[in-house]
């Protein structure tokens, strides 16, 4: 199974294409260089493999590269931002 993370329009995903993604993290553009991380999904067969973290890492790197901040709405992203210091530079305050 190909676990390559691909970039779509306002998302990072794993799968043959965006419509058939088996894992994804989505975001919506906001105001003032802020993006809203609004949804994370990992299919049951991929759970327990840190796939959601890998997707969030891609989103954080995208934010850094584009001088953006992330406003977490998705519960997974909220918890990750609270627990891990590695994302402190991209949190919208």
Examine residue 1 and state whether it is found in any structural domain, yes or no.
no
| pLDDT greater than 90 at residue 24 | yes
Domain count, the chain: 1
CATH number for 14: 3.40.630.30
- Give dist(CA 87, CA 85) in Å, integer: 5
Residue with tokens 């992330």: 70
Looking at every residue in the chain, the average pLDDT score rounds to: 95
Which pTM value belongs to this model?
Answer: 0.94
pLDDT band of 71, cuts 50, 70, 90: very high
46 in a domain, yes or no?
Answer: yes
Q: How large is the average pLDDT for residues 15-21?
A: 94
Which pLDDT score is estimated for 41?
A: 98
Do the beta carbons of residue 6 and residue 42 sit within 8 Å? no
- Give the pairing type, strands 23-29 and 11-14: antiparallel
Cα 59 to Cα 74: distance, rounded to the nearest angstrom: 13
In the predicted structure, residue 31 carries a pLDDT above the cut 70: yes
Answer whether 25's CB lies under 8 Å from 73's CB. no
């Amino acid at each position: 199974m190909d676990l390559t993370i691909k970039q779509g329009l306002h998302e990072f995903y794993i799968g043959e294409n965006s419509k058939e993604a088996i894992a994804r993290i989505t975001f919506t553009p906001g105001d003032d260089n802020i993006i809203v991380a609004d949804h994370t999904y990992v299919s049951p067969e991929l759970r327990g493999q840190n796939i959601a973290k890998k997707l969030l890492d891609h989103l954080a790197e995208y934010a850094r590269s584009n001088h953006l901040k992330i406003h977490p709405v998705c519960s997974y992203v909220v918890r990750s931002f609270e627990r891990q210091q590695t994302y402190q530079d991209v949190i919208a305050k």
